[in-house]
Amino acid sequence: MTPEQEARLRARILELRSLRQIYELIQDLRQHAQDVFSLPFFVLGAVLQDLAWRLEGIVVTPEVLAQIHQQLTPGMERVLNAYRRENREEMFAELNLLTKQWALLRDELL
């Protein structure tokens, strides 16, 4: 991933505020994960895909989107930071924290 692609991805994650943006980001992450298999992008895409599935059939209010943004965006950014630094130990720790945070949020959304 080029620095420009990473910067665009980071900006999109930080601005994740609509269901449409979530679906678009899932597609982009899938494409990148297929081009060159990369665990952090696969996990980010899997978290967002599960999020999208959970949101199907419920009313998605601005409050729900704000909650998602507040609880997931920081973890996603930390994963990208560790990836950029090429620190595998930190990246795995951050991926673990992100999936734990997602599990907590998922329970709140049900």
Quick: pLDDT tens for 18-40. 888 888 888 887 776 655 557 88
Q: Are 54 and 110 in contact (CB under 8 A)?
A: yes
pLDDT of residue 110: 66
Q: What is the mean pLDDT of residues 98-110?
A: 88
Q: Is 54 exposed, middle or buried, given 0-12, 13-18 or 19+ CB atoms closer than 10 A?
A: middle
Q: Determine what percent of the chain falls in helix, strand and coil, rounding each to the nearest 5.
A: 85, 0, 15
Q: What is the mean pLDDT of residues 90-110?
A: 91
Q: Is 59 exposed, middle or buried, given 0-12, 13-18 or 19+ CB atoms closer than 10 A?
A: exposed
Output the CA angle 37-40-43, nearest 5 degrees: 95
For the chain, the domains span: 3-109
At residue 85, the 3 state secondary structure works out as: helix
Q: Which amino acid is at 33?
A: A
Phi and psi for 23 in degrees, rounded to 5?
-65, -40
